[in-house]
A and B are shown apart, each in its own frame.
Chain A
Amino acid sequence: RKEVEQDPGPFNVPEGATVAFNCTYSNSASQSFFWYRQDCRKEPKLLMSVYSSGNEDGRFTAQLNRASQYISLLIRDSKLSDSATYLCVVVASGSARQLTFGSGTQLTVLP
């Protein structure tokens, strides 16, 4: 079983739609969680951190469920510019490797 798993998609949604991605992790010692966005042929960039209480940044909402060991990202009112690959990242303390990436979920927002 992979340490971090994501549905690869692709998700094709119309402009204005709401879309949600999930990411599951296997290491219960994981402590920090992030969502990154990667545009085609570019480096990943931080979209938002994920806090235990959940957090929101404009149209984006991230949630953490420690009991079920998953994090989620909700995008409301999708824009064409949201088209990208979304990567979840899990950090586990006590793990020498610390940083584990999911394989990414591809989103295309259609006009």
Chain B
Amino acid sequence: DGGITQSPKYLFRKEGQNVTLSCEQNLNHDAMYWYRQDPGQGLRLIYYSQIVNDFQKGDIAEGYSVSREKKESFPLTVTSAQKNPTAFYLCASRGRQVNTEAFFGQGTRLTVV
């Protein structure tokens, strides 16, 4: 079955640690996105990539980094520079045509302990 997979589902980070969230899709989508969602809030764009080896900052990129070495994969690293990383992280992918919808992974819930 085609889809988009995020892992892990739950992640605990100690203060000062970097952690990497995985996002893989087998939908052959060019565009991939990372969003952060805080309780009761909407989705805020962290980074997006429209093609392999290229990515752009979103609205809240500080403290995060990404890579896009393969079309299928768009991992997100939450660095120690991100002062308030506890949130729900969502990865999405989308085809090239303007009328296509975005598909989401199940999300990763990150908690700083």
Binding site for B on A (CB under 8 A): 31-32, 34, 41-46, 49, 87, 89, 91, 93, 96-99, 101-104
Q: Judging by beta carbons under 8 Å apart, are B94 and A97 in contact?
A: no
Chain B at the A interface: mostly helix, strand, loop or mixed?
strand
Residues of B in contact with A, size category:
20 to 34
Q: Judging by beta carbons under 8 Å apart, are B102 and A89 in contact?
A: yes
Q: Judging by beta carbons under 8 Å apart, are A49 and B99 in contact?
A: yes
Sample of 15 A–B contacts (CB below 8 Å):
A32-B98, A32-B99, A42-B107, A43-B90, A44-B90, A46-B101, A91-B98, A93-B98, A96-B56, A97-B58, A98-B31, A99-B31, A99-B92, A101-B35, A101-B42
**How far is the CB of B88 from the nearest CB of chain A, in Å?**
7
**How far is the CB of A95 from the nearest CB of chain B, in Å?**
10
Q: Judging by beta carbons under 8 Å apart, are A99 and B102 in contact?
A: yes
Tally of A-B residue pairs with Cβ under 8 A? 54
B104's contact among A32, A43, A49, A96, by CB below 8 Å, is which?
A43
With a cutoff of 8 Å between Cβ atoms, the chain B residues found around residue A99 in the complex are: 31, 33, 48, 92, 94, 102
Q: For the complex, what is the distance from the CA of A103 to the CA of B101, rounded to whole Å?
A: 17
With a cutoff of 8 Å between Cβ atoms, the chain A residues found around residue B79 in the complex are: none
With a cutoff of 8 Å between Cβ atoms, the chain A residues found around residue B45 in the complex are: 97
* B63 lies within 8 A of chain A by Cβ: no
Q: Judging by beta carbons under 8 Å apart, are A43 and B58 in contact?
A: no
With a cutoff of 8 Å between Cβ atoms, the chain A residues found around residue B56 in the complex are: 96-97
Q: For the complex, what is the distance from the CA of A44 to the CA of B42, rounded to whole Å?
A: 11
Interface string of B57-92 (1 = CB under 8 A from A): 010000000000000000000000000000010101
